[in-house]
Amino acid sequence: MQTMSDQAESFAALEQATSVPPLLDLPIARLQIVQTSEVLKADWLDRSMLEPKLEQNADGLWVLAVHRQGEHSKFEVPYIGSEILLADAELGLVAVLVGYHGSATEKYGRLGYMTQKGQFYRYYQQQPGGDWKRVEWRHLSDEVRQLVLNMVEEQGPAWAKKPGKLQSERKPPTKRAALTSYKVVRVIDGRYFSLYQPDVEYVIGQRMKQPAKPKHGGGFYSYPTLEMGTEFLADCVERLPFHREVVTPLLALLECEIGGRIIDYGHKLASTYLCPVRVLEMRAAND
């Protein structure tokens, strides 16, 4: 396997190359790694252009062609260096680090030349049936991930960044805590309905969704404090708002959990999600 210094070839030599010997042959895994003779001269380097190409030839041999061209910080031809960090036939895994530095061909005002550079990893794994396919980091076990991380640290270039973390190091996302709010509702036949939309029912323990939008454009309305909810309940007992034609023997104050987008109107909250948790108080409506 060639070193990074061996990879630097002149533009003319790369243009004239007609056949490329294998860089690495894994007969047990039926995989051969070669350097492609294609020379990329695009000003803007897209990762899909730079990544190794995996194909199976007519003889059933899998071939992984990698790009190696140019010299870093010299812009006669874009630099592309493919480091084969891991090639294990028994494990059936190849890990490649691709580093690239595009041509400085675009002017960018007072900053001079604009260049494009970066790095990324690609992983190729042999499947139970013998075929090879590209896999993502998230599909690798912690044992394999640790092996790759060790190779990056021991054999990778100084500029190489770690490809990722072990699964065991990842912490599960913290569940966003629901906010508590308070809502006044009608009580009809033991069920809870909206004051303003009598056909909207609230069920204890059932989460409801309606996108909260600015300027009172949507969402479920509730009060941010118990005191404000209690005061509104008292007001409704004396003066039930809207839809007086709906027979409302009782009113109730519900404790709710709200979440999603929450818009604070000062005296009220509008939320995308609302779930009634329990009934705090009931009062007879003065019709």
How confident is the model over 45-80, as pLDDT tens digits? 889 999 999 999 999 999 999 999 988 777 788 899
Whole-angstrom Cα distance, residue 97 to residue 158? 12
pLDDT at position 3 over 90: no
Residue 224 has pLDDT above 80, yes or no: yes
Q: Please compute the mean of the pLDDT values over residues 20-28 and round it to a whole number.
A: 80
Cβ–Cβ < 8 Å for 241, 187: no
Q: Taking 70 as the threshold, does the pLDDT of residue 239 lie above it?
A: yes
Q: With a cut of 60, say whether residue 202 has pLDDT above it.
A: yes
Taking the C-alpha atoms of residue 277 and residue 275, their distance in angstroms, rounded to an integer, is: 6
* Domain identity same for 27 and 130: yes
Q: What does the pLDDT average to over 97-103?
A: 87
Q: Using the predicted structure, report yes or no on whether residue 25 has a pLDDT greater than 60.
A: yes
Q: How confident is the model at residue 6 (pLDDT cuts 50, 70, 90)?
A: very low
Percentage of the chain beyond pLDDT 70 is 85
* Residue 145 and residue 243 in one domain: no
Q: What's the mean pLDDT in 170-190?
A: 82
Least Cα distance to 124 among 99, 155, 87 occurs for 87
pLDDT at 177: 64
Domain that holds residue 161: 4-168
Residues 107 and 231 in one domain: no
90: in domain: yes
pLDDT score of 97? 96
User: According to the model, what pLDDT value does residue 114 have?
Assistant: 55
What is the average per-residue pLDDT within 179-202? 93
pLDDT of 190? 92
Tell me whether residue 174 is in a domain: no
Backbone angles phi, psi at 233, to 5 degrees: -60, -45
What is the phi/psi pair of residue 22, to 5°?
A: -65, 140
> Average pLDDT in the 142-162 region?
93
pTM of the model: 0.55
Long-range contacts of 157-161 (CB under 8 A, 24+ apart): 157/4, 157/83, 157/97, 157/99, 159/99, 159/119, 160/83, 160/97, 160/99, 160/119, 161/119
Q: pLDDT at position 75, please?
A: 75
Question: Are 136 and 240 contained in the same domain?
Answer: no
118, 150: one domain: yes
Window from 74-83, 165-174, 201-210, 244-253 with minimum mean pLDDT: 165-174
Number of domains the chain is built from: 2
Amino acid symbol at 133: K
Q: Say if residue 159 is in the same domain as residue 185.
A: no
- Reported as a pLDDT band with limits 50, 70 and 90, residue 249 is confident
For residue 145, the model assigns a pLDDT of 95
Work out whether strand 62-66 and strand 31-35 pair parallel, antiparallel, or are unpaired: parallel
107 has pLDDT over 60: no
Cα–chain center distance at 67: 28
Domain closes at, from 136, 168, 200: 168
Q: Which pLDDT belongs to residue 81?
A: 92
